[in-house]
Structure 1
């Protein structure tokens, strides 16, 4: 019979028991083994190292050995701009905290921000942030809205256009507003094929020298245009 695994297990159990007794006796508590340093690492733009230390200092006050690293991580991740944190001990008296911040790419349903990882988060003052598109849709389809926005934006860049707003309504219909003010009605089906139809006629429409209010692409073959300088019905442009 191989006794090595059994002996190793007993050693581990013994170490845990001794550590527990020492902790209760205060031998490895905060007074004897305090955390003196909180080292912060990460590419920080919205959160300061001071804010991270302030969040961590409370749960780290129980000492180097007794500190619950998950509690420290949770306190740091509760900061609005922090997406994720990892915490480790660094002998003899420091905790190393590595932080990854949210990188906002768009607004989500008006009052929140959407990160490049598809996570929704809230921060104060987000309404004053400029230069981000607004995405709108059901929570359950958030990742789909984000992915379609990225694909549409990439395709529209070929004709010098960018997206100001994307909306996916309750019926599953897509509407896009460009930075130029144009509205593209894409409907519920073949959204990217319909967008491609717009891209193909973009230069022709621009050559007319008239501002466009709305392009309806919900046709099987073609589109219709409403010009911004007229109040009449849309003019059909068949493919």
Structure 2
């Protein structure tokens, strides 16, 4: 073997190539570790060039900055994005590098719609459940109360928008929507009246029950004015009504 000049030349060339590659990699590593590439600034922007209402420099310094490692070249952008998405009120973050030592982070905040459950959590207009300061949320809007089984957030939100559209006919809107563990729907309207709708048998069953209520509501309002406490629409051909004018509920048939 050692007398074969071609093999010796090939082996020598291979060793030289490996040495040159190692030197090249060492040079690149030396360059990227230079102080000029140390991250010196992180620019925070709002999505669509809007304004951030709840995310501020203090929350970012406390929740995100300590989790960022590396420099311009070595920082893991996925980890940086994940770090910013742990900041309260942040729904989504995107990150990109800016030569030679900066990061640009674009944040999308949650748009709060209401509370979710009884654990102090909030739900956004896109159906995301998150945790943030309740007092801050109450400054943004009058919060709707939502309750539902785990994993039902999107469905509850969809039904809320249906109820809001349906009850707008009588100038009312939901203040609370509940979806029970037994898959029954109930809501409280802006006039304080509670409405029991029961289970959704098919896509149209809830709408039919609401339409039945809407049909008789003007008559109920004329007779009882603002004394209606609750209406139970779970009866096939009628309803049960409770009024503050009477300690007893009354049932009426729907024509």
Q: TM-score, normalised by structure 1?
A: 0.83
Q: In the alignment, what sits opposite 2:123?
A: 114
Q: In the alignment, what sits opposite 2:178?
A: 167
Which 5+ residue runs of structure 2 have no aligned equivalent?
Answer: 1-20
Q: In the alignment, what sits opposite 1:205?
A: 220
**Rounded Cα–Cα distance in structure 1 between residues aligned with 2:27 and 2:238:** 78
Spell out, residue by residue over 1:159-178, the C-alpha distance to the aligned partner (whole angstroms, 9 max, x if none). Answer: 11121211111221111111
**Rounded Cα–Cα distance in structure 2 between residues aligned with 1:57 and 1:122:** 20
How many residues align? The count is 223
SS at match of 2:83: helix
* CA root-mean-square deviation: 2.5
Report whether the alignment pairs 1:238 with 2:238.
no
Report whether the alignment pairs 1:224 with 2:228.
no
Larger Rg: 2
Q: In the alignment, what sits opposite 1:40?
A: 44
**Rounded Cα–Cα distance in structure 1 between residues aligned with 2:133 and 2:174:** 25
1:180-195 aligned within 5 A: 180-189=191-200, 190-195=205-210
Question: Given the superposition, is the C-alpha separation of residues 199 and 17 from structure 1 closer, same or farther in structure 2, using an over 3 Å criterion?
Answer: farther
User: What is the CA-CA distance between 1:204 and the residue it aligns to?
Assistant: 1.9
**Rounded Cα–Cα distance in structure 1 between residues aligned with 2:25 and 2:130:** 39
Tell whether the 8 Å contact from 2:77 to 2:96 is kept in structure 1 after alignment: yes
User: What is the CA-CA distance between 1:50 and the residue it aligns to?
Assistant: 5.1
List structure 1 runs of 4+ shifted beyond 4 angstroms.
Answer: 16-20, 53-56
User: What is the CA-CA distance between 1:109 and the residue it aligns to?
Assistant: 0.8
Question: Given the superposition, is the C-alpha separation of residues 36 and 128 from structure 1 closer, same or farther in structure 2, using an over 3 Å criterion?
Answer: closer
User: What is the CA-CA distance between 1:23 and the residue it aligns to?
Assistant: 5.8
Question: Given the superposition, is the C-alpha separation of residues 52 and 188 from structure 1 closer, same or farther in structure 2, using an over 3 Å criterion?
Answer: same
**Rounded Cα–Cα distance in structure 2 between residues aligned with 1:223 and 1:143:** 29
Which 5+ residue runs of structure 1 have no aligned equivalent?
Answer: 1-15
Tell whether the 8 Å contact from 1:40 to 1:98 is kept in structure 2 after alignment: yes
Question: Given the superposition, is the C-alpha separation of residues 76 and 176 from structure 1 closer, same or farther in structure 2, using an over 3 Å criterion?
Answer: same
Question: Given the superposition, is the C-alpha separation of residues 203 and 24 from structure 1 closer, same or farther in structure 2, using an over 3 Å criterion?
Answer: same
2:98 to 90, 98, 104: 90
Report whether the alignment pairs 1:77 with 2:85.
yes
